[in-house]
Amino acid sequence: MGGTIVIIVVLTVIVPVSIIMSGLVASGVLGFILKRDADLIHEGSELLALSQKDFYAEVD
């Protein structure tokens, strides 16, 4: 009976959470790699400077 409860907890709690967390890590790594690649490809472009501008900074 105890083994059944352990298996149910593992299948309903631990497995979905681990799948979501692995997807989170994969998305973060993929986003970092693609952003770095785009920054290198468009280095020196006015669009790169525009994308890195802080629009919420106060203007003097």
CA 39 to chain centre: 17
Residue with structure tokens 């967390």?
Answer: 21
In this predicted structure, the answer to whether residue 60 has a pLDDT above a threshold of 70 is no
Q: What is the pLDDT of residue 32?
A: 96
Q: Return the higher-pLDDT residue of 25 and 45.
A: 25
The C-alpha angle with vertex 35 and arms to 22 and 28, in degrees rounded to 5, equals 15
Average pLDDT (39-60) is: 83
* DSSP for residue 60: -
Confidence band for 18, pLDDT divided at 50, 70 and 90: very high
Q: What's at 25, amino acid-wise?
A: V
Give the mean pLDDT of 14-32. 95
* Distances 4 to 7, 9, 13, 14, 47 between C-alpha atoms, Å: 5, 9, 14, 15, 58
Percentage of residues in the chain having pLDDT higher than 70: 98
